[in-house]
Structure formats: structure tokens, C-alpha cells
Structure 1
Amino acid sequence: MDITPELLALAGVLLVAGAATGILAGLFGVGGGALMVPVLYEVFGAYGIDDDLRMPLAVGTSLAVIIPTSIRSWRGHLARGAVDTALLRRWAAPIVLGVLAGAAVARFADPVVMMLVFVTVAGVNAVKLLGGSPWTLSDDLPGGWLLRVYGAAIGLLSSLMGIGGGQIANVIMTLHGRTIHQAVATSAGIGALISVPGALGYVAAGWGQEGLPPDALGYVSLLGLALFAPTTVLTAGLGVRLAHRLSKRRLEIAFGLFLLAVSLRFVWEILA
């Protein structure tokens, strides 16, 4: 691949976005996919990738980048004793099954389906957080089959959105009496459960598809992975430190504004 001014500019944009993604991962307990997917979607469009391939390629690449970011963020929160490890163990199997189902759907679904899932989940989360008054269903999470359904839903929707599951898990946990700080910390661990099978699933889903760029492995762009991953890992620790310095309300407002911006971005794309 020839090194051109355009390619160098693209690399610079992706490196800056990767640094911002790492901070978001640690700050909000998310893998950063809500930022990466729109950026990668635009990048792939600028390079002439077919519209039917841009969204799954952006989602698959995002999930691959989330792997090291989520692990680093999860370890940082775990060191502070904020992660509910028992809940992670109970959610592990249903989350992975949901992720694999989402990757299978991605091979055949219209890209608009992924955008609508993105807008719905992010929008509901933003309204909840910015409203101030807490939404509660119970004082604690349920057990049995309902807890497993929650896990499967987190995996399925996250796989279709290209995120680490933080947006969805945060809503579920805070609805059931968990604090935002514990929800953010535990969501970082969920990101590790989602990203590994999710990335592998998108490699398989995109295998043999025509029209993908030459660097792609299925629906995962190796160039995007190479440029995003190092900076996200380096800056995730900063996000973790910021999260534990903010008050509960400030963390909620910051997360809500972030999600609202993401929702509006994809509404514009759907209507365009």
C-alpha cells in the first residue's frame, strides 16, 4: 500500500479517535464502539466501500478493537474492587450466545437494522441518565431465567451495535438498584465477554463476501484494528481515573450527553 498524504491524514484521524475511544472506555465502562462505529462507517464510505458492507465492517472492526480496551478497563475497575464478578460469571454463557447470534444476523440484515438498534438503545439510555430521577424496577437484579434473558439481550444487541455492552448493561443494572459506578465497572468486564466472540463471529460472517477492502479479514479491517488498538489501550487508564473522581450525578450527565450525541448522529444517517 502506497503511503500518500490522504493515507497519512486518515491514520492521524484514526489515532486521535482511538485515543478518545480509550478514555471513553475507562470513563463510562464501554468499549468505545459508540464512537468507533460512526468514525469507521464514514472512513469506509470515503474509500468507496459499498453501503451494504460499511456498517457490518465498521461493527466488526469495532468489536476487534474493543478486545484490548475492555480488558484494560476491566482490570482497572477490578483493582478498585468495583466489579461484580459473581454477576459476570452468571452472565458469561448467555452473553456469548447472544453475541454469536448477532454476528449471524449481521451477515444478512440490512445495515439500517443495526443503526436502529444503535439509536434505540443509546437514546433510551441518554433519556434515563439526563432525566435525573432514577428509574427503578427493583432493589436488586432478578435470578433464574430472567437474568439469563438479560445476558442474552446484552450480547445480541451489543453484537449488532459493535459496542462492548456498557450502554445496555448500565441501564439494566441501574434499573435494579445498582449504583452507576458499579454498573460502569461491571460493564467493562462485560465488554471482554462480548468483544472476543463478537470479533470472531464477524470474521466468519464476512468470510468470502465480495467488495471488502484487501486488508479485511471477514468483517474486520486489519488496518482499522492496527491504528485504533494501541491508542485505546494507552488511554483507557486515564478514563478509569476520571470515572472515580467524578460524582455520581456528573458521571450520569456526561454519559447521557455522550449517548445523546451518538443517537442524533445515526438518526441523521437513517433519514439522509
Structure 2
Amino acid sequence: MFSAMVVCRFVHFSAVLLLFGGWVFRPLLPGTLSGPRQQVQGAYRGLAWLALASGLAWLLLTTFSMAGSWEDTLDLATLKLVLGSTFFGQVWTAHLLFNGLLLIALYTTAGFGLIAVVSFLLLATLAPVGHGAMLDGWQGQLLILNQMIHLLCVGAWVGGLPVLWWVLTRPAGVAVDAVLRRFSNVGFVLVAGIILTGLINTRVLTGALWPTPLFQGFALILLIKVVLVGLMLLLALFNLLMSRAGHFEVLRRSVALEWLFGVSAVAAVSLLGTLPPLVVS
């Protein structure tokens, strides 16, 4: 069941991050590319359905961990108790509601602003889940806020990369340099936000800037995540150089590789959220 939860978290995080990042990145595109919503609408609808399915699976797996059997898990009274009487359930009720609203918006004539706001709320309601709920009072609220900022930065970066790759596959008549400059300028802010909020999370959860022992459990997975983010940052700098040199074929492959590193980092986070932090005594 542990493996099922890790996979479920990975699928759900990936879908929600891609939904948020894709919509946030759209205003950075040239007007001729940001307009035709129908070209990517199918992909976003698919991601929203995937997010809903994995979100419901997450609820069932969490309920199973509390109830201890599938018979009790699938009992409506048990589900009602979890959703109404636990912190996770209350947060998850709002989360699933935003997921449903996003699906409705994607199947109607809702504008960019509404979909972007609902995507933001969908991602933001992931912050109180997992380690974000470890502390009580104002400290817990600040930790959730910090985790929310962390997720928003990650979502904008990882979710924006597929859109950037899509632009690079259609370079004719597109000022690729301008698009990359826009993405890079925002990217530097996002990277700074990811690093700062990540350090705060680690310090608060473990009592140290880095947990020890380094190559065990929580610390090892955290190290893998940091290495992957570092590789993404190096590739982002490489992409900027390739753009200035006009090597668009290399650039497309590099952006795709950067996105794969990002997805791998999300996989590491999905596992990390199920492990207890190594608290320094």
C-alpha cells in the first residue's frame, strides 16, 4: 500500500503542477501563440481528469490507512467521517471541489483568468497535506504558507517547460529569443523561491539546514531531489546559451531533458512526503 500511495502522489502532483504551470506561462507567450486555446484544451482536460481520479484514489488510500480494511474504507459513513472530522479530509474536500470546478471551466467558455485562479487554488490546497501539517498554531500556518510558495514556484517552472518546448517545435515566425528571455527572467525568480522555501522547509522540519545521516531515508531522497533541481538549473543556463547561438534543435532536446529532470524531482518529492523527517535532537 505504501508503493500505491507514492505512485498516487506522483501522478496527482504531476497533473496539478502541469495544469498550473501551463496556464501561468501562457501570458509570457507571443500573442499569436497564446490565443488559440483549443489547440491545448484537450491536454488540459485530460490532466484535470487525471488529477481528479488520482485525487479520489489518494482519499481512498488515506482512508484505508486509517480504517485498516477496504470494507470499512468503502463504507460511506467512514468516508464521511474522514472528510468531515479530520484535517486532511477538510482540506481534501476543498481540493476536490476546486478540481471539479476546474473541469467545469475547461468544458465551458471560462476565460484565462478564471481557469488560472482555480488552477492556483487547486495547487495551493496541496500545501497543507503531508509535512505541511506537522506543526500547530501560527508556526504551522507559516509552514503551510512556505510550502504553498514552494509548490507555486515548482509548478510554474516544471509546468511551464512543456509549453516552452511546444513553442520551440514551431519556431517559424516566433521570436524564440524573446520567449526564452521572458521564461528565463521569471525562471530566476522561481529558482530563488524554490531554493529559499526548500531550505526553510528543511530547517523547520528537521531542526538543521540538512538532515543527517546523509545517505539514509529522508536525507538521501532530499539529496536526490536537490541534485535533480541543480541539473535543471544548469540546463536552464545551457538553454539560454543555445538560444543566443540559434541552435534550436539542441535547445528543444535540452528543454525536454530539463522537464524530465523536473518530473524525476516530483517523483522524489512524492516519496519524500511519505517519509518521516530526521529531526535533530
Asked if Structure 1 and Structure 2 have the same fold, meaning a TM-score greater than 0.5 normalized by the shorter chain, the answer is: no
Which structure has more RCO (C-alpha within 8 Å, separation ≥ 6)? 1
Bigger radius of gyration, 1 or 2?
Answer: 2
Tell me the TM-score normalised to structure 1 length.
0.32
Structure holding more helix per residue: 2
Tell me the TM-score normalised to structure 2 length.
0.31
